[in-house]
């Protein structure tokens, strides 16, 4: 789950991480007032769940309150399109107005989960203000990595070592050490999946602070952080993804495809997506209905796929395990009846109660092509999409 | 004898709710010797009128000599169940539960280290050994056939797909194992590959990976240096976009190494016979075996 | 550091531990109002830092608001003497007014630090409402112990196991498990040295709650819990001990002695206390001036000893290590000048700069008997206290 | 060769504030080979114009081959310093710092377990080996004399008292060690007793305990079963009241086992020659040695 920069900033502040003075504005006038409060020279930053705001005009540095209001007026109510947003962009409902600081140096520090280290990993670099992927590609030796010990956490001496290695000036190593330690506390105590400060700045007046902050949370741990759930801005999410999320479905909308996929199991779902290529088409979505899905959940999944305007055919590939195919079939019938769709279905059902499931679909009179496995599914898909499937 | 479960398996199932009961039942139906259940407030009762249910794992192990634990408890309590089973000394702990918070696994894996238990999962379908009719998990038994190909996969249902292809082509399986789709899990590809390499019952191996992480590269490295048996590989997620979690917590393209194409390249360099798509895993194995 | 029951109760509540409804009263009228709020039937409990309140009349169970006011009036402003207080008792400034609950069973649970296990230790028993020492002495098999793993903390399954073993009814095992887990969080997150719930009650209406709570904190960790420091009620402490504590000195007032002891090092201080027995006397205090004590700290320690009315002679035993004897001597001279005392001093000084120290004392003209070691100190003490030291 | 420090000791001192510098200086003056200092912001400078100071322990060990670490950093940072020294692979880590939060020691001791470093302390005076002029800590060197009695104690200054009594009676010491007054510490009585028992330089042992905990009882048990050399013991705190912390965090009478009388009884049962008071430890040893 992602949150806005202003929310991340508030969390960091509550953990004792230094951040520039700032406030949130929903109107140009509020932005003006904040600029007045901060002495006129401020950054006005569009609050969207996407990187690349700077190049897209979502960050303006201004010198006076009126300019701040003007910048805010130019952002609020629009959709900001960056290289990370969907084509339509993301709606800007709020801007962050932050005091400008005189920057002596821009650094980078982030914490993620590392599967190989089986631990949280601190990544830091002397190269801040640019995307870390660039640094990793061009000058990988400028990235410092340290795995956080599960028993003792991030030792202060390691935090200190990291601060020194990324070039924090000697007299600021101590506050930087505290800052890095606190970032680690945020990551661990709140079950974050990412805490990224880019840039971490050293100011000309001798402070270290988090100038921009990105925090994402581990979805699987949100159940124990109710207060974080309240931070979610569902408007920033894709509408179908949000609907699927609310229904407890793992769904990802994919650009440019016309084959709707309904699968159980993430691996099989990816295999099913990949197989559309064999049919000369492309998947419109990833969808894993999960393990013990009940009828109504399957029905909801079906409705989400059908309500995607890109979808022309639905590829159902279910392998009964915890999921029972008869239950799934009843859910599909329910969804089809509710949406009234006539869309063609290519269906593979195997495993637990597969025959019962296929029988239920047949009895319901849906436009179903039954197939035996993934290979047959590709063939059937080609037929359904027409001879020249590659135009899809 | 299978590489991890076989006719000597004495199964304990923890978490006998709706799904756990259904699956425990099918483990038994397949032929697995389930000796104990563990479920709160059902102490003293019996599962299917035959298998005693206990309040704690320690009691169950003490009373029944269980040697494999299977976990179906909800994600929030899964790490605790793993620790309880490890503390009770079960040599093999299989955790099916999906959605375990990754930080729970950080401490749990650190805790297990150096102890005598092996963990399979979480978020895995478990494993099955058809020749001894031992099933520990949720892999549908009817799709398997006895034979000499070992199957290991990060996925659940995709494993079934591959197994079914093999069975349809008359290629039986020795042991079939799902290691799970979470980024942090117990038993890895490398662990299973090593077991298959040393397994008298196994002639060739199917390994199914996916986008995210670098576990497939580690497997490739191991195959190159230590595996003499033929390996057929497949990687799914070629059409997945970067930065999006494809269901499995571990299936996210976070960098170049996490791409399907990179993994396929690594496997090919290690001499693995890579199937062009998941639809032809069985066919690839048939080709490799010269059938 | 100890805190009051009402403060412990608030901490527990903030950690989600069930406690009876209660409030604090400083006047009989406040007590009456609280009793009204809780329906009349309440317990009025004197807030002092000592156990044994019940037998001493510090806990009254009443049936009506007027009785609550009366009970409070009888306690507030008095000094409560229990078997754990000093002879003069402890001042009662506040009473806790708590709703009465109908108790089905009284249990016990506590968490302490265990040196042998090198970990926090949960101790629990089916025998609540009595002192755990009694249970330990009479029916030790009724005490359940579980060491908390430093990496994973108290596993829920262990908390559950403890709850079952102490006889929590089956349908209340789950809330009891949560309660025990939360007590452990209090212990670990707040660096407590003791969290004790006695009794933990099962009520007739099917709840488990902490009826009485005692929390003490690790002094060495208070530096990272400023908010806990604010809870200290220094009025409950011995006046001299409080003064020493404020000065950063390890000092314990001992009843019935007349030999004031000033020593550096806890072990040597205990040995010095013990040696007064050889002289037929008894120590008036334990005092370790600590490692790197400066002059003014030594002076303050000296003043505290002198201001103890029981003290007739001062035994100084210093072994220079981190402490330098010359520094200590200057501190003693400073203290003696400030207090103007003529009290006899028996002084042993060895180690770092011992000769300089003894010279400084000699030059200052104090009433000093210099001795070479502990044995000589005993002899000198006997002489100073008079032939019949055993009358001391 | 001493049991832990000797002529091969290459000392690293971490924390060169006022007290640390004073004590490091006297370690050097005694004859100890101090090869490195570690102190923030003094990287590149030298201690007493001779010993290089580094920013981190790892750098210092790498550059100087230090093999014993001595810690004087304030209590709040002491656990971190111990971990830094253990991570740097120092075989012996001696922590003088007093007032380390006990929960810091819970995790630190768990972290050290299984690693190759031995921890002495915290809240201890360190150790000293007069025959090789190796002093690591704060025990005043001038009170020691070369000889064949090993001294181990929970206390600092009380150890000096005992050593001085021995020296005054012409009884020299092999190695003198303070294990520290905190309830949770690294090296224990049992560890040191075992080293003295196996030490060619040691003929007899002085062991000084105090109220609180059960470490003396564990020592008594060990002595009874494994120590053949004569042991003179003393326990202080006979006049301490229950429930009050006597300076040392570990010196609290929390129950019967924590009483001085109980500990004395245990030691006597183990054949230890217990001194009636701390004033006659030396005399007792003289008696035992027949001098």
Instruction: Name every residue whose Cβ is closer than 8 Å to that of residue B10 and which is 6 or more positions away in sequence.
Output: B33, B35, B64, B65, B66, B67, B68
Residue of C nearest to D212 (CA): C115
Is D103 in Cβ contact with C273 (below 8 Å)?
Answer: no
Task: Please tell me which of the candidates B109, B215, B278 has its beta carbon nearest to residue A271.
Answer: B278
Task: Return the bridge partners of D205, or none.
Answer: D150, D231
Is D83 in Cβ contact with A152 (below 8 Å)?
Answer: yes
Task: Please tell me which of the candidates B41, B81, B84 has its beta carbon nearest to residue C170.
Answer: B41
- Is the pTM above the cut of 0.90? yes
Is B107 in Cβ contact with C164 (below 8 Å)?
Answer: no
Which residues of chain D lie closer than 8 angstroms to C321, CB-CB?
125, 138-140, 156-157, 160
> CA A210, A211, A217 angle in degrees (round to 5)?
65
**% of chain D with per-residue pLDDT over 90:** 87
Nearest-Cα distance to chain C for A225, in Å, is 15
| D122 cis-preceded (ω within 30 degrees of 0) | yes
Is C151 in Cβ contact with A150 (below 8 Å)?
Answer: yes
Nearest-Cα distance to chain A for D112, in Å, is 11
Domains of chain D plus CATH, in order, are 11-120 (3.40.50.720), 139-288 (3.40.50.261)
Nearest-Cα distance to chain C for B41, in Å, is 7
Is D208 in Cβ contact with C282 (below 8 Å)?
Answer: no
Residue of D nearest to C222 (CA): D101
Give the dihedral sign, CA A367/A368/A374/A377.
negative
Count Cβ atoms within 10 A of the Cβ of residue A133 and give its class: 0-12 exposed, 13-18 middle, 19 or more buried: exposed
Query: Of the candidates D115, D186, D126, D114, which has an alpha carbon nearest to the alpha carbon of residue D153?
Result: D126
In the structure encoding, which two tokens stand for residue A60, read together? 């303006």
| B122 cis-preceded (ω within 30 degrees of 0) | yes
The H-assigned helical ranges of A1-155 are 5-14, 28-37, 65-75, 132-138
Under DSSP, the state recorded for C308 is -
D42, D55, D78, D109, best to mutate vs chain A, most A CBs in 10 Å: D55
Residue A389 has what pLDDT? 42
d(CA B121, CA B248): 12
Task: Return the bridge partners of A145, or none.
Answer: A123
In the structure encoding, which two tokens stand for residue A169, read together? 């000036």
Residues of D (80-109) whose Cβ lies below 8 Å from C? 96, 98-107, 109
Residue of C nearest to A150 (CA): C151
Whether A108 sits among the annotated catalytic residues: the reply is yes
Residue D1 has what pLDDT? 67
Query: Of the candidates A310, A309, A316, which has an alpha carbon nearest to the alpha carbon of residue A366?
Result: A316
Q: What is the pLDDT of residues D231-273, one digit of tens each?
A: 999 999 999 988 888 888 888 888 888 899 999 999 999 999 9
Instruction: Say how many CA atoms lie within 13 Å of C258 toward its Cβ.
Output: 16
Q: What is the pLDDT of residues A95-139, one digit of tens each?
A: 999 999 999 999 999 999 999 999 999 999 999 988 888 888 888
The torsion angle over the Cα atoms of residues D111, D112, D113 and D119, rounded to 10 degrees, is -150
In CATH, C1-20+102-237 is 2.60.40.10: no
Instruction: Say how many CA atoms lie within 13 Å of B70 toward its Cβ.
Output: 31
Q: What is the pLDDT of residues B7-46, one digit of tens each?
A: 999 999 999 998 899 999 999 999 999 999 999 888 889 9
* Residue A232 DSSP SS3: coil
Is B239 in Cβ contact with A282 (below 8 Å)?
Answer: yes
C216, C267, C327, C357, best to mutate vs chain D, most D CBs in 10 Å: C267
CB atoms within 10 A of CB C337: 13
Q: What is the pLDDT of residues D126-171, one digit of tens each?
A: 999 999 999 999 998 989 999 999 999 998 889 999 999 999 999 9
Residues of C (161-220) whose Cβ lies below 8 Å from D? 188, 191, 193, 218-220
The class of domain A238-385 in CATH terms is alpha beta
D16, D161, D176, D252, best to mutate vs chain C, most C CBs in 10 Å: D161
Q: What is the pLDDT of residues C273-303, one digit of tens each?
A: 999 988 889 999 999 998 777 899 999 999 9
Is B213 in Cβ contact with A116 (below 8 Å)?
Answer: yes
- Asked if pLDDT for residue C132 goes beyond 90, the answer is no
| Straight-line distance from the first to the last Cα atom of chain B, in angstroms, rounded to the nearest whole number | 26
d(CA C101, CA B24): 44
Which residues of chain B lie closer than 8 angstroms to A255, CB-CB?
241
Average pLDDT estimate for D30-41: 96
Nearest-Cα distance to chain A for B213, in Å, is 7
Residue B1 has what pLDDT? 67
> CA C345, C350, C355 angle in degrees (round to 5)?
85
Residue of B nearest to C156 (CA): B80
Residues of C (69-88) whose Cβ lies below 8 Å from D? none
d(CA C122, CA C161): 12
Q: Give catalytic residue positions of D.
A: 248
Nearest-Cα distance to chain B for C185, in Å, is 16
Residue of C nearest to D278 (CA): C271
Residue C136 has what pLDDT? 84
In the structure encoding, which two tokens stand for residue D174, read together? 């092999």
Q: What does the domain layout of chain A look like in residue ranges?
A: 1-20+102-237, 21-100, 238-385
Task: Return the bridge partners of B149, or none.
Answer: B173, B204
Q: Does D211 touch chain C (CB under 8 A)?
A: yes
Q: Does A271 touch chain D (CB under 8 A)?
A: no
Judged by average pLDDT, the poorest of A305-309, C71-75, C245-249 is C245-249
Which residues of chain C lie closer than 8 angstroms to B84, CB-CB?
155, 157
Instruction: Name every residue whose Cβ is closer than 8 Å to that of residue C256 and which is 6 or more positions away in sequence.
Output: C282, C310
Do D232 and D284 form a contact (C-beta atoms < 8 A)?
yes
- Asked if pLDDT for residue B269 goes beyond 90, the answer is yes
Q: Which overall architecture, per CATH, does domain A21-100 show? A: 2-Layer Sandwich (3.30)
d(CA B34, CA B26): 11
Average pLDDT estimate for D103-116: 96
Q: What does D106-171 look like in DSSP terms, one character per residue?
A: HHHHHHHTTSS-EEE-SS--EEEEGGGTEEEES--GGG--EEEEEEEES-SHHHHHHHHHHHHTT-
Residue C389 has what pLDDT? 42
Instruction: Name every residue whose Cβ is closer than 8 Å to that of residue A354 and which is 6 or more positions away in sequence.
Output: A318, A320, A325
């Amino acid at each position: 789950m992602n949150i806005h920069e202003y929310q991340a900033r508030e969390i960091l502040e509550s953990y004792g991480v230094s951040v520039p003075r700032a406030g949130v504005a929903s109107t140009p006038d509020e932005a003006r007032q904040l600029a007045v409060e901060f002495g006129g020279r401020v950054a006005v930053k569009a609050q969207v769940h996407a990187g690349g705001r700077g190049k897209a005009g979502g960050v303006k540095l201004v010198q006076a309150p009126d300019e701040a209001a003007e910048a805010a007026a130019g952002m609020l109510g629009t959709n900001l399109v960056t290289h990370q947003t969907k084509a339509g962009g993301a709606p800007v409902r709020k801007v962050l107005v932050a005091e400008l600081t005189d920057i002596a140096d821009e650094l980078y520090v982030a914490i993620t989960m590392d599967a190989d280290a089986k631990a949280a990993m601190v990544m830091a670099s002397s190269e801040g203000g640019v995307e870390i992927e660039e640094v990793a590609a061009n000058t990988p030796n400028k990235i410092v990595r340290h795995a956080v010990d599960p028993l003792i956490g991030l030792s202060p001496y390691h935090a200190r070592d990291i601060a020194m290695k990324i070039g924090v000036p000697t007299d600021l190593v101590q506050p930087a050490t505290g800052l890095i330690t606190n970032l680690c506390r945020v990551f661990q105590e709140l079950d974050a999946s990412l805490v990224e400060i880019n840039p971490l700045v050293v100011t000309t007046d001798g402070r270290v602070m988090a100038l921009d902050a990105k925090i994402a949370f581990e979805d699987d741990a949100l159940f124990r952080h109710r207060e974080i759930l309240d931070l979610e801005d569902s408007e920033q999410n894709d509408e179908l993804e949000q609907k699927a999320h609310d229904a407890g479905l793992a769904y990802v909308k994919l650009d440019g495809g016309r084959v709707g996929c309904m699968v159980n199991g993430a691996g099989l779902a990816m295999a099913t997506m990949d197989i559309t290529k064999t049919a000369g088409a492309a998947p419109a979505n990833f969808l894993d209905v999960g393990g013990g899905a009940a009828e109504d959940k399957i029905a909801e999944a079906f409705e989400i796929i059908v309500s995607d305007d890109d979808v022309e055919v639905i590829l159902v590939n279910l392998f009964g395990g915890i999921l029972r195919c008869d239950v799934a079939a009843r859910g599909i019938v329910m969804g089809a009846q509710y949406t009234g769709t006539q869309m063609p279905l290519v269906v593979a059902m195997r495993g637990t109660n597969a025959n019962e499931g296929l029988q239920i679909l047949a009895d319901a009179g849906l436009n179903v092509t039954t197939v035996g496995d993934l290979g047959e599914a590709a063939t059937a898909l080609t037929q359904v999409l027409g001879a020249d499937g590659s135009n899809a | 004898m299978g590489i991890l479960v076989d006719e000597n398996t004495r199964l304990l199932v923890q978490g006998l709710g709706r799904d756990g009961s259904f699956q425990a039942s099918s483990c038994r139906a397949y032929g697995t010797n389930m000796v104990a259940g563990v479920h709160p407030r059902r102490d003293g009762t019996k599962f299917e009128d035959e298998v005693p249910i206990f309040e704690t794992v320690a009691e169950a192990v003490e009373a029944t000599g269980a040697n494999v634990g299977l976990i179906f408890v909800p994600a929030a309590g899964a790490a605790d169940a793993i620790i309880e089973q490890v503390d009770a000394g079960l040599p093999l702990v299989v955790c099916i539960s999906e959605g375990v918070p990754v930080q729970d696994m950080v401490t749990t894996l650190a805790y297990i280290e150096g102890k005598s238990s092996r963990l399979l999962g979480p978020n895995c379908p478990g494993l099955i050994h058809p020749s001894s009719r031992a099933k520990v998990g949720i892999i549908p038994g009817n799709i398997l056939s006895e034979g000499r190909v070992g199957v290991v996969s990060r996925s659940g249902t995709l494993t079934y797909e591959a197994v079914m292809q093999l069975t349809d082509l008359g290629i039986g399986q020795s042991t079939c194992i799902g290691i799970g789709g979470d980024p942090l899990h117990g038993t890895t590809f490398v662990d299973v590959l090593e077991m298959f390499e040393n397994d008298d019952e196994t002639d060739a191996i199917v390994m199914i990976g996916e986008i995210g992480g670098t576990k497939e590269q580690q497997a490739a490295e191991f195959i190159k240096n230590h595996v003499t048996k033929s390996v057929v590989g497949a990687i799914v997620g070629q059409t997945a976009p970067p930065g999006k979690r494809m269901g499995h917590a571990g299936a996210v393209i976070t960098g170049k190494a996490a791409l399907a194409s990179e993994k396929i390249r690594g496997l090919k360099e290690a001499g693995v016979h890579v199937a062009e798509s998941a639809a032809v895993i069985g066919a690839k194995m048939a080709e490799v075996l010269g059938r």
